[in-house]
Amino acid sequence: MISISSQEMFVEDMVNYILSRMAGDHDQDEFVDGKPSRKFLIGTLAARKDTSTDLMKIKDNDTKASIRIHRLKASVLVKKTALQLNPEIKIKATGYVYYKVKKNSGSDQISKVSESGSISDEQDDIKSQWKRLAFDHNRNFTPSSNNTIEEHVDFSNIMTIANHDPLIRKKTADDVWNAKISVQTSDFDEHHILVSFNYENCGIEPLKDSDFERTIFNCKLSVDLGNLEVEEFCDEYLYEGHKQRYYYDFRTINCQAEWIDNKKQFMTGHWGKFLQENIRPRSSISGLNLLFSDLMSPDDFIPSLDKLVVEMKKYLEYYRNNVPASVSRDEFQPRTGNREKTWNERIEHIRQFECLILRIESGINLVKSRSRVKDVFLKTNETFNNYYISRGVSYAGWRVFQLVFFLASIESIVEEKDLDVVDVLHVDTGGGKSEAYFALVSFTAFYERVTGKKDGVSAIVKFPLRMLSIQQLERISGIIIHAEKVRGRSPTFPGFPFTLGYYVGNRDEEFPALYQEVRKRLYHKDGKLITPPPISLVLSKCPLCPPEEKGDIRLHDDPDHKRILHKCDRCKSEFYIYTSDREIFRWRPTVIVSTVDKWAALSQQRRIRSLLGGCGSLCPDGHGFIPSGDRCEEKTDEAFQCDNVRADERSSAGPRLSIQDEMHLLRECFGTISSHFEGLVEALVEDTSSGRKLKHIAMSATLNGSKDQIKELYHKDSFVIPEQCPEGVGSPNDFFFEKLDGPKRIVYGLKPNVRDNHYAALRTLLHFAEFIIGAQRDLNSNSSDFCSRYLIEEPIDAQCLIN
């Protein structure tokens, strides 16, 4: 078992390695091959380009991905009266410079260059490398109002050291390194002054300058404010329509800043660090039974649901009692950390919590009073219980917010209520959002069967990116397969089997448009079947097999019905999962998992109407559904052609549920395209479903601007589940979440100063790989030393740490 402290030490070493390599501060960077400004990207201050140069003469390679930040700045806020005390401020500017030196003449490459006589730039790079020198410059300033005091950094000492180096390639000119530090004061408001500390590279870099590196590296300012008292900055803004205030100490440009000693000394840095609080969804509340096994029992589930409502009402009463009766809604609450919020925001969260309770009570009443809804609820819990047992998880159950979301959504499915409201499921990544909407998808599929819908699409799940949809596909496949197993055992749920469609197809080979393209993977060129059949791309292991004996899911051709079946090679179970467009149009899966861009082509593919409740009927030859006015299959490049044309009959209604994951990614032009087809899909479903609209569910990792976004996407109102605790994030009185010790995530933000973000990300990954390779090498060469370093007992645990 690897302890948290071992993980923290390992990660700290990794981060320090990456940051030092990105800044040029590592021991390995004392000598470097190639110009340092191409390697060290954070904390750098570049010289300005020579403005007298004709930019048209600069080649693409000289400007590609070039960013030239030449100044960093950190500002503090002080009262105007503070400068009347003539405070003395001590500033220390530090950094590195590089100069070109000769390499040791040991390599064959250098020997060949020496024999050739003349030296090109490329050959010069082979014979030379760059050597690092550290410098610092100290200066005391006494600032006054609305004034700027500056001083140039003295490079004479390190210039002397460099020019006396016997290996230097070319003597350093006086103007190669040129920088200044300054203190600037300006009025901030009636009572305050902004004091800014600047560090600037004043050098000019000519067009061709391969002999000198004028960029300054690892630039930092250390500032001792002496007796100068600083104030906090305060920004007031609107968040979801509520006033909030945020307090902070520094305003910075091209750097970060942090206190060293009790708001008297600070230092600039090259990165920001954020510790995300370890707030997790509650999986239990004292006295509340959330187990699937109990909620699938007709005798046990009602007391559990009633207890849930009782507990929520206790919390509601507590929230109400903690709002002073005489408080003004526009008044700010006591400050928490760096933030202030109004009482109005707290009261609105309480009101939202009360509305949520009412919705849950409505859902529970439907489960209690209607036998079919009760049966569907029990079967949904049975599905999840079986799913987790098959994964080797005993006594699995709902997280609190999952069950609350499920119950609050039942009325929209059964009574078709609140269809003009989009429910926003807001939980951090990894918190269990997917299982929450899986429950609603399963419930909807069961409910439509028990109310007479025997086939067709019940739910559409959309993702912004295919990568995101693939990650979810195996889990939702497992749920649908277990739901079908439960459905097949009960005569209460007639009709076609529950099926799944992965609707992302285009011209690629993995998920094509045609059944023929999937089918040909199962056969050799001579027409014989490949043995054993290929494994599914969607579902690799059988969800129905015991956890210790999982079979592989392999693809099998079903020539009679012109479709591909997924079959377990151990238990022989068959699953209906369709991955080509034409199969999806003909077999209209119960649940469709797709991407946003796929639905953007809605107006260009008439067979999509089959998925939205369009008229038509089944092919008499068993090929699936035929839309009215179409032939069964007319495409000449498909594996078959069928000329059957069926009557223009009313088919099953359109889908009842539309789910949008990662809604926060649907912004700007992407969101505009999405909003266009969302309106068209809604109109088509209304037309084919007797005026019933879709129930929209949206998942989002952020709530900022979500109301406006939903209004633009769907032209509907929104309701957040679970709403933020009225007492704030991390409160011990949060009904849905609990705060655990330590951080959940540690996030570092790096700002490259001389190259673009893409290049900087690649170099960051390079240094990450270097560290992991080095750690593996250390473990292999001396496992006892490695284990001792990270407080690990066994080498096998150390290997797990690296992995």
- pLDDT band, very low/low/confident/very high, at 68 (cuts 50, 70, 90): confident
Q: By mean pLDDT, which of 52-56, 323-327, 347-351, 415-419 is the weakest?
A: 52-56
Give the span between the Cα atoms of 624 and 647, in whole angstroms: 14
pLDDT at position 409 over 90:
yes
Q: By mean pLDDT, which of 461-465, 701-705, 713-717 is the weakest?
A: 701-705
Of residues 604, 279, 598, the one with CA closest to residue 463: 598
45 plus 13 within the same structural domain: no
Full domain range(s) for residue 790: 1-29+771-803
174 plus 187 within the same structural domain: yes
416 plus 449 within the same structural domain: yes
- pLDDT band, very low/low/confident/very high, at 465 (cuts 50, 70, 90): confident
Q: Give a yes or no: residue 755 inside a domain.
A: no
Structure tokens at 357: 């309770």
CB 563 within 8 Å of CB 587: yes
Q: Which residue has the tokens 């951080």?
A: 743
Q: What is the pLDDT of residues 121-154, one digit of tens each?
A: 555 667 899 999 999 999 999 998 889 999 999 9
Q: What is the pLDDT of residues 761-789, one digit of tens each?
A: 999 999 999 999 999 999 999 999 999 99
Please give the pLDDT value at position 64.
Answer: 46
Structure tokens at 42: 């954070």
Give the span between the Cα atoms of 653 and 683, in whole angstroms: 13
* CB contact set of 291 (below 8 Å; sequence gap of 6+): 395, 396, 397
Cβ-count burial of 99 within 10 angstroms (0-12 exposed, 13-18 middle, 19+ buried)? buried
pLDDT at position 112 over 60:
no
In the Cβ-directed half-sphere of 742, how many Cα atoms lie within 13 Å? 8
Please give the pLDDT value at position 44.
Answer: 96
- Cα 792 to Cα 4, 684, 768, 798: the distances in Å are 11, 61, 22, 6
* CB contact set of 132 (below 8 Å; sequence gap of 6+): 24, 29, 30, 31, 32, 36, 96, 97, 98, 217
pLDDT at position 670 over 90:
no
Please give the pLDDT value at position 123.
Answer: 56
Question: What 3-state DSSP class applies to 93?
Answer: strand
Q: Give a yes or no: residue 148 inside a domain.
A: yes
* CB contact set of 315 (below 8 Å; sequence gap of 6+): 353, 733, 735
124 plus 80 within the same structural domain: yes
CB 544 within 8 Å of CB 485: yes
Of residues 394, 401, 387, 467, the one with CA closest to residue 724: 401
Provide the number of structural domains found in the chain. Answer: 3
Question: What 3-state DSSP class applies to 72?
Answer: strand
8 plus 67 within the same structural domain: no
Q: By mean pLDDT, which of 49-58, 96-105, 510-519 is the weakest?
A: 49-58
Of residues 750, 752, 754, 751, the one with CA closest to residue 215: 754
342: which strand partners?
332
| Domain stops at, among 240, 272, 304 | 272
- Cα 7 to Cα 11, 169, 750, 803: the distances in Å are 6, 45, 22, 12
Q: Give a yes or no: residue 280 inside a domain.
A: no
pLDDT at position 62 over 50:
no
Mean pLDDT confidence for 184-195:
95
How many C-beta atoms lie closer than 10 Å to residue 295's C-beta?
24
* CB contact set of 164 (below 8 Å; sequence gap of 6+): none
Q: Give a yes or no: residue 382 inside a domain.
A: yes
223 plus 356 within the same structural domain: no
224: which strand partners?
90, 265
Q: Give a yes or no: residue 452 inside a domain.
A: yes
- pLDDT band, very low/low/confident/very high, at 118 (cuts 50, 70, 90): very low
CB 68 within 8 Å of CB 46: yes
Output b/e per residue, 649-667; b: 16+ Cβ within 10 A: eebbbbbbbbbbbbbbbbe
CB 43 within 8 Å of CB 220: yes
Please give the pLDDT value at position 53.
Answer: 52
- Cα 399 to Cα 79, 282, 283, 315, 366: the distances in Å are 51, 6, 4, 17, 22
pLDDT at position 457 over 70:
yes
337 plus 188 within the same structural domain: no
Helix axis angle for 706-714 and 668-688, nearest 10°, is 50
What CATH number is associated with residue 480?
Answer: 3.40.50.300
Relative to beta strand 421-425, strand 251-253 is: unpaired
- pTM (2 d.p.): 0.86
| 3-class SS string, 505-568 | CECCCCCECCHHHHHHHHECCCCCECCCCCECCCCCECCCCCCCCCCEEEEEEECCCCEEEEEE
- pLDDT band, very low/low/confident/very high, at 602 (cuts 50, 70, 90): confident
pLDDT at position 703 over 90:
no
61 plus 198 within the same structural domain: yes
Mean pLDDT confidence for 431-451:
96
How many C-beta atoms lie closer than 10 Å to residue 596's C-beta?
22
Please give the pLDDT value at position 61.
Answer: 43
* CB contact set of 121 (below 8 Å; sequence gap of 6+): 210
Mean pLDDT confidence for 244-259:
97
pLDDT at position 76 over 60:
yes
CB 222 within 8 Å of CB 199: no
Structure tokens at 81: 């009266």
**CA 107 and chain centroid, separation:** 47
Helices (H), 659-717: 668-688, 706-714
pLDDT at position 587 over 60:
yes
Of residues 506, 656, 520, the one with CA closest to residue 592: 656
Peptide bond into 722 cis (omega under 30): yes
Give percent of the chain above pLDDT 90. 78
Instruction: Write down the mean pLDDT value for the chain.
Output: 91
73 plus 186 within the same structural domain: yes
Mean pLDDT confidence for 737-741:
92
Question: What 3-state DSSP class applies to 266?
Answer: strand
Question: What 3-state DSSP class applies to 114?
Answer: helix
Give the span between the Cα atoms of 264 and 224, in whole angstroms: 6
CB 703 within 8 Å of CB 426: yes
Structure tokens at 149: 């005091």
- How would DSSP label each residue in 136-202? EEEEEE---TT-EEEEE---HHHHHHHHT-TTBSSPPPTTSS-EEEEEEEEE-SSSEEEEEEEEEE-
CB 582 within 8 Å of CB 513: yes
Please give the pLDDT value at position 253.
Answer: 96
Residue 594: left (phi > 0), alpha (psi -120 to 50), or beta? beta
Please give the pLDDT value at position 507.
Answer: 64
Give percent of the chain above pLDDT 70. 94
- How would DSSP label each residue in 574-619? EE-EE-SHHHHHHH--SEEEEEHHHHTTGGG-GGGGGGGT-SEEE-
Q: What is the pLDDT of residues 517-569, one digit of tens each?
A: 999 999 999 999 999 999 998 898 999 999 999 999 999 999 999 999 999 99
Q: Give a yes or no: residue 520 inside a domain.
A: no
671 plus 791 within the same structural domain: no
Q: Give a yes or no: residue 554 inside a domain.
A: no
Question: What 3-state DSSP class applies to 363?
Answer: helix
CB 437 within 8 Å of CB 425: yes
pLDDT at position 109 over 70:
no
Relative to beta strand 148-152, strand 179-187 is: antiparallel
Give the span between the Cα atoms of 536 and 565, in whole angstroms: 10
Mean pLDDT confidence for 328-349:
95
23 plus 38 within the same structural domain: no
Who has greater pLDDT, 704 or 249? 249
Of residues 659, 620, 288, the one with CA closest to residue 463: 659
Of residues 547, 546, 545, 542, the one with CA closest to residue 566: 542
In the Cβ-directed half-sphere of 296, how many Cα atoms lie within 13 Å? 17
* CB contact set of 43 (below 8 Å; sequence gap of 6+): 23, 24, 95, 217, 218, 219, 220, 255, 269, 270, 753
| Domain stops at, among 207, 240, 272 | 272
Give the span between the Cα atoms of 409 and 407, in whole angstroms: 5
577: which strand partners?
500
The torsion angles phi and psi of 755, rounded to 5 degrees, stand at -140, 170
Give the span between the Cα atoms of 202 and 45, in whole angstroms: 9
568: which strand partners?
553
pLDDT at position 741 over 80:
yes
Q: Give a yes or no: residue 525 inside a domain.
A: no
Cβ-count burial of 42 within 10 angstroms (0-12 exposed, 13-18 middle, 19+ buried)? buried
| Domain stops at, among 721, 736, 757 | 721
493 plus 347 within the same structural domain: yes
